[in-house]
Amino acid sequence: MDITHLTIDGDTPGIAWRLPVLHFTGSKPDAPKIYIQAALHAGELPGTALAHFLCERLRQAEAEGTVLSDIIVVPHANPIGAAQSHFGEMQGRFDLGTRTNFNRDFPLISARDRHLLLENLERYPAADRLKRQLIHMALGADLVIDLHCDDESLQYAYIDEAFWPEAADLAAALNMDAVLLSDGESSAFEEAVSFAWKYEVPGEKKAHLSGKLSVTVELRGTRDVYPEMAKRDAEGLWRFLAARGAVRDDHVSLPSFAGPAVPLDNVEMIRAPQAGTVLFLRNIGERVNEGDRLATIITAPGMPDGTIDVHAPQAGLIVTRVSDRLVRRRGDLMKVACDRPSTAARKPGTLED
Ligand SMILES: [Zn+2]
């Protein structure tokens, strides 16, 4: 394992971040190149824990001579976000200076212009320099895995339809509970990588990207950071790497993915009709029927008629749930993966800002 560091100079004097990048060199030049990063949203640590144990496994493989692919791992991709704190609470999702989500505003370029990402870097603010260097590394790979997590959540992934169903092996290897098929319409890291490949020949969009993968994995919830869980997840990602010929492990055979894979349009974003104290009646992982009560919101505590109920608009699987119990009007309560498209209007792109 070789370690290099990206140095990101701060936007004010006296500050610089130093980001470790771990490299494993493969023995097979035509094996797919791998890029794995975690905690782009700096407080989302299940992926960092996974990466820790995966690197342990990869070092062992290196000693045994079974690493076939060049593999880059960035176990904690966002030192800028990790350093942000506001009144004692870590703020790892948005850049406090610009209010920009650390997983948006990645440059949408053609892969053939990859080299331009690092040109005149000094013209960009620190967060953009970080983004340009991360996506530059990713575009040097064939299989790109961006490890995130949700709030309270099952394990699921956002996978562009251009990679499906080929990517079902990743879902099977990690034993995901669901896959959300996205339409590639945002500037999130994973979608900017796909965009660069789709438009490798500018003006000629490729609908299917065989042999490539760029995916956002939501490794359950923010608090799901435990040693045994992270080891199992690392073992899962190892199985995927073996299945794709990035490492040699003759003991790996993957089952087919049995979970639901639904388009983003089929995700019901359950929102709070009014503000209040939410009492959840159903949990993640449960299947609900149309009309089931999902939660009661106490809108006027202590008053007669002080509650309202929230019902399931259609049958589906509860994939995520908010962890805050004080909810604002129109605040997200749950994501429910359903068989049919939601009738609620969705703007193209990501489900959340
Ligand atoms: Zn995230």
State the pLDDT at residue 317: 98
State the pLDDT at residue 280: 98
**Helix (H/G/I), strand (E/B), else coil: 122:** helix
Going by the DSSP 8-state scheme, the letter that residue 255 receives in this structure is: P
Q: How far is the CA of 150 from the centre of ligand 1 (A)?
A: 7
Distance in angstroms (rounded) separating the CA atoms of residues 262 and 104: 23
User: For 204, how many CA atoms within 13 A lie in the half-sphere containing its CB?
Assistant: 5
Q: How far is the CA of 263 from the centre of ligand 1 (A)?
A: 19
State the pLDDT at residue 345: 75
Q: How far is the CA of 352 from the centre of ligand 1 (A)?
A: 10
Q: How far is the CA of 308 from the centre of ligand 1 (A)?
A: 31
Q: How far is the CA of 306 from the centre of ligand 1 (A)?
A: 35
User: Which tokens go with 162?
Assistant: 């251009």
User: For 189, how many CA atoms within 13 A lie in the half-sphere containing its CB?
Assistant: 32
Q: Which residues of the chain have pLDDT under 50?
A: none
State the pLDDT at residue 348: 72
State the pLDDT at residue 108: 96
Q: How far is the CA of 55 from the centre of ligand 1 (A)?
A: 21
Q: How far is the CA of 228 from the centre of ligand 1 (A)?
A: 22
Give 93-121 pLDDT, tens digit per residue.
999 999 999 999 999 999 999 999 999 99
State the pLDDT at residue 164: 96
Q: CA-CA distances (angstroms) from residue 256 to 156, 166, 313, 336?
A: 16, 11, 30, 23
Q: How far is the CA of 300 from the centre of ligand 1 (A)?
A: 33
Residue 24 neighbours by CB distance under 10 Å: 21
State the pLDDT at residue 347: 74
Q: How far is the CA of 222 from the centre of ligand 1 (A)?
A: 9
Q: Which domains does the chain have, with CATH numbers?
A: 2-259 (3.40.630.10), 265-338 (2.40.50.100)
